[in-house]
Amino acid sequence: MAYENIVYQVEEGIATITFNRPKALNALNAALLDEFSRALDEIAADENIRVLVLTGAGDKSFVAGADINELATFNSLTAKNFSQKGHAIIARLQGLPIVVIAAVNGFALGGGTEIAIACDFIYASENAKFGQPEINLGLIPGFGGTQRLPRLIGPNLAKELVFTGKMISAAEAEKIGLVNRVLPAEQLMDEVMKTAAEIAFRGRASLRAAKQAINHGLNTDLATGIHIEVDAFGLCYGSSDSKEGTSAFLEKRKPKFKGSLKD
């Protein structure tokens, strides 16, 4: 499928979506969101994909928020529809049963931060910047910033970022737990792909079970979360990968995981 606003690639079980509007700092408009949605459909339908990496074209921006030229045309109804559309796409991103890594290579503002924090974790280049600047436009975050950000870094820090609209550096983002690793720009994608390949080697069923147990457990109390883990642990034994993994360990060889999400 041809795309104009993103670049979509798959290699050795790792899919990469590159937001590709570098002249607009990869800002989100309706056309890009539609293409992003279609690419997620392709990924969800491809049993061979084990990891998804998101990044931005160029060396300045991951996603610099929503396209202000498009925002300026909205009224209350079209703004609500745009927000709902973004939420639906980001919810599908977060709900993918595979691992999703954000490789933030520059500005991740507004919707850029909101997409990144819906991923399973974030690696950032040293020149990356994060922020929710919507307050400067007389608006609030519309793609999950008021909800996911407090759950990730705590309500007080999230309120400070949302209320002030300030940008923070990659180093500060790492300090507050928003980012896992900060790397020199020239090393970012190599390190992301190295981690992606390490994860892609693991069994699909166990990766799915681990991701779902963590995500679902975060929205419950500890006792309920433990029940989720126990059920997921048991279900892992329905996959051929559990037998392969234990056999490989006992036979002192590397496992060859070939299980399916449908196991």
Give yes or no: 114 in active site.
yes
Give yes or no: 134 in active site.
yes
> Among 134, 191, 198, 229, which one carries the catalytic annotation?
134
Q: 18 — phi, psi (to 5°)?
A: -110, 120
> Among 114, 126, 174, 244, which one carries the catalytic annotation?
114
| DSSP secondary structure letter of residue 263 | -
Phi/psi-derived region of residue 203, left when phi > 0, alpha when psi is between -120 and 50, beta in every other case: beta
DSSP string, 147-184: THHHHHH-HHHHHHHHHH--EEEHHHHHHTTS-SEEE-
Task: Give 214's Cβ-side CA count (13 Å radius).
Answer: 12
The closest alpha carbon to 43, from 105, 82, 99, belongs to 99
Sheet holding 107-109, edge to edge: 61-63, 107-109, 129-131, 167-169
- Give the residue numbers annotated as catalytic, written as ranges: 114, 134
